[in-house]
Structure 1
Amino acid sequence: MTQKMAEAVKHLPKIDSQTFANSKYYKGGFEQKMTRREAALILGISPSASKLKVKEAHKRVMSLNHPDRGGSPYIAAKINEAKDLLDSSK
């Protein structure tokens, strides 16, 4: 069994840091105080998006990450914080 596992690991594709360096995903955690840029990244919209775009993006992202559907309560709170920040500054 151990020998088969070792062979399987040898045949796995090599992943280097360059693979993730060119990724389309945001690297890093959340900032101490959320900025408009970070809020826009969370919702997947432009920082200057209209209130309607903010509302639609919030609904879309929240439906995918809602705690009642297996999502993280922390991520859901950040999604709500992003919506509130972008709504309040318009």
Structure 2
Amino acid sequence: MSAGLIVTGLGLAAVGFAGRYIVRQMPQVTRTVNEAIKNLPKFDADSVANSKYYKGGFDAKMNRREAALILGISPSANKTKVKDAFKKVMAVNHPDRGGSPYLASKINEAKDFMEKHSN
């Protein structure tokens, strides 16, 4: 029984020393983390405007440019490319798979527009 008390005491002492070491190292860790945060790249409005992604919402009326952006094709794409792109985009954004019904309606609208106005 006394051996168990000695082992318990030594274990508590080890935990105490480890805790003391961690507490003493905290200022250095905090300083390192703060320096790392300062060195992160800055994202401002200019870098977002120059990104490869389309900035803004949907137009009031569907047009060829917007339909092509939604489907991820060129505005002069043929009906086969429109159909293939529609399948890929809708597979990811379908409401039955957790997608938005609004986005699905815009994808359908884009497909219909491009099929109607393509060669």
Q: Percent identity?
A: 64
Letter of the 1:22 counterpart: N
C-alpha distance in 1 between matches for 2:76 and 2:43: 36
Aligned to 2:59: 31
Give the superposed CA RMSD. 1.8
- Taking structure 2 as the reference length, what is the TM-score of the superposition? 0.64
Distance 1:73 1:58 in 2: 15
Aligned twin of 1:11 = 37
Shift of 1:85: 0.3
Segments of 4+ in structure 1 off by > 3 A?
none
Unaligned runs of 5+ in 1: none
* Pick aligned residue for 1:76 from 84, 99, 104: 104
TM-score (norm 1): 0.84
Deviation at 1:89, TM superposition (A): 1.6
Unaligned ranges ≥5, structure 2: 1-29
Q: Greater relative contact order: 1 or 2 (C-alpha under 8 angstroms, separation 6 or more)? A: 1
Q: CA deviation at 1:86?
A: 0.5
Number of matched pairs: 84
The aligned counterpart of 1:87 is 115
Distance in 1, matches of 2:117 and 2:74, equals: 14
Pairs within 5 Å for 1:37-52 = 37-52=65-80
